[in-house]
Copies of this chain bind each other. A is one copy, B any other.
Amino acid sequence: MAKQKVRISSISVRDIRVPTSDSSSGSDAFHKNPDPDYSAAYLEISTNIPNLNGVGFVFTIGNGNDLVCRAIEAYAQPLVGCSLGVFTSNPGAFWKKLNDHPQLRWLRDGINRMAFGALINALWDLVSKYHNKPLWQLLAEMPSEELVNLVDFRYLRDALTPEDAFALLERRFQGLDHHVASVIAAGPPAYCTAGWSGLELDDVERRTRHAHDELKLPAIKAKVGLDIEADRARMERIRSVIGENGKLGVDANQWWGAPDAIAHMEALADLNPWFIEEPTHPDDVFAYQDIARALRPRGILIAGGEHASGAVSFKNLLRADALDLVQIDVARVGGVNELLAEILLAAKFDKPVCPHAGGIGLCNGVQQLTIFDQIRVGGQRDDQICEWIDFLHDGDTMLTPVEIKDGRYCVPQVPGFSWEMTPSFLDAHEFPNGDVWRDRQEHFALRYA
């Protein structure tokens, strides 16, 4: 930070909601989240330097987005007037200060952790922009010791020590230029869901053809859970396009307890699913272990992490040998610092980081972490994929849309986290007074009678 001194001049937190539940378009037509309104609790940090800002946000699915906004304000407002140096002088200590706040820590995970994660991510966005580098590059070029210092190892040491982390990071610091060039030549493989539960089978087939034949995505996903025969029909239709050996993952969005998950997936095993994602409660380590032990012999791997409460949850799923695809989420935990811990844990257990994305702008955000992982930690692996969605990720929504080529993410070159939303999108979707909401009801606020 040798150039001009950066000072935080103001913050804004906006409640952004898209009424996706008006129609089935792009919505997760599924039992557990039947009608989400894709939303973002959107933080922008402004500085004394014109056009230098930092953006971070929490993705939610509608109701409660306002609660996350208030929590982000509580963490971000006291930064106004501070030098950016309060963060950059020791980002690991800053993270620990938020995570261990003497009073706020009582509120634990969920809203509280998401909120300080948004602030942490906005600060990383700001720092990357200040250095005029994409976040993946800023992180990839950092000395191993600095990266190690970003992580709080207190609750991880039984599985990952600072020495382990240093060794993992040093391994690929050698030959960095080569690794960067290799990932730029062929970025993380993308995949998408074509088999939403609510769709007609012909629509499932059409979406699969588009993803497989035109976009060349190396894997396709289907939702499962409610009805074995309907799940089977959907999977068969996808198999009819991608063939017997195509990669087909399935996702239960936490629908089952362990015994049901095992029974349901055993009944679908002949369709050769690559993985079952979120078969049960996201932190339920022994349920995941039961499921892994029952289904791996049938050739089915276990994916999870989208809703995992934090790095400790990943640590235990990995210690239990109950997780094969490590689905980090960029906006649920404590931001870049905690995501780095999760990426290091995956490498320690030799499992691929396969991020959850979608929503609004989550693809933009998490690509930075998975590219960093490919360059600097886990390397490029055949079994690694990164979720992708074409909905709410275009130029109307995002200033710098994600690009997919030959079934892979293109490595972004714009400075920062590359997840700013366009001013017109933000203005139109601000809840409850933006154009989109002014004459519309909030969806699914609680109704008891």
Question: In the bound complex, do residue A444 and residue B101 qualify as a contact, i.e. CB atoms below 8 Å apart?
Answer: yes
Instruction: Take A103-B64, A257-B157 as given contacts and tell me if A82 and B448 are in contact as well, using a CB distance cutoff of 8 Å.
Output: yes
Question: In the bound complex, do residue A290 and residue B110 qualify as a contact, i.e. CB atoms below 8 Å apart?
Answer: no
Instruction: Take A286-B316, A286-B320, A449-B83 as given contacts and tell me if A112 and B71 are in contact as well, using a CB distance cutoff of 8 Å.
Output: no
Number of copies of this kind of chain in the complex: 2
Within 8 A of B (CB), among A178-206: none
Instruction: Take A158-B286, A307-B108 as given contacts and tell me if A103 and B36 are in contact as well, using a CB distance cutoff of 8 Å.
Output: yes
Binding site for B on A (CB under 8 A): 32-37, 60-64, 66-68, 70-71, 74-75, 78-79, 81-83, 86-87, 94, 98, 100-114, 153-159, 256-260, 280-287, 290, 307, 309, 312-313, 315-316, 319-320, 443-449
Question: In the bound complex, do residue B111 and residue A107 qualify as a contact, i.e. CB atoms below 8 Å apart?
Answer: yes
Minimum CB–CB distance for A317 against chain B, Å: 10
Minimum CB–CB distance for A74 against chain B, Å: 7
Which residues of chain B have C-beta atoms less than 8 A from A158's C-beta? 257-259, 286-287, 290
Which residues of chain B have C-beta atoms less than 8 A from A83's C-beta? 449
Question: In the bound complex, do residue A111 and residue B63 qualify as a contact, i.e. CB atoms below 8 Å apart?
Answer: no
Name the one of B71, B103, B307 contacting A60, with C-beta atoms under 8 angstroms.
B103
Question: In the bound complex, do residue B312 and residue A284 qualify as a contact, i.e. CB atoms below 8 Å apart?
Answer: yes
Minimum CB–CB distance for A76 against chain B, Å: 9
Minimum CB–CB distance for A41 against chain B, Å: 11
Instruction: Take A67-B70, A111-B107 as given contacts and tell me if A102 and B449 are in contact as well, using a CB distance cutoff of 8 Å.
Output: no
Q: Can you name 13 A-B pairs with beta carbons within 8 Å? A: A63-B101, A63-B103, A63-B104, A64-B74, A78-B447, A78-B448, A81-B449, A107-B110, A153-B257, A157-B258, A158-B257, A158-B258, A158-B259
Which residues of chain B have C-beta atoms less than 8 A from A312's C-beta? 281, 283-284
Question: In the bound complex, do residue A64 and residue B112 qualify as a contact, i.e. CB atoms below 8 Å apart?
Answer: yes
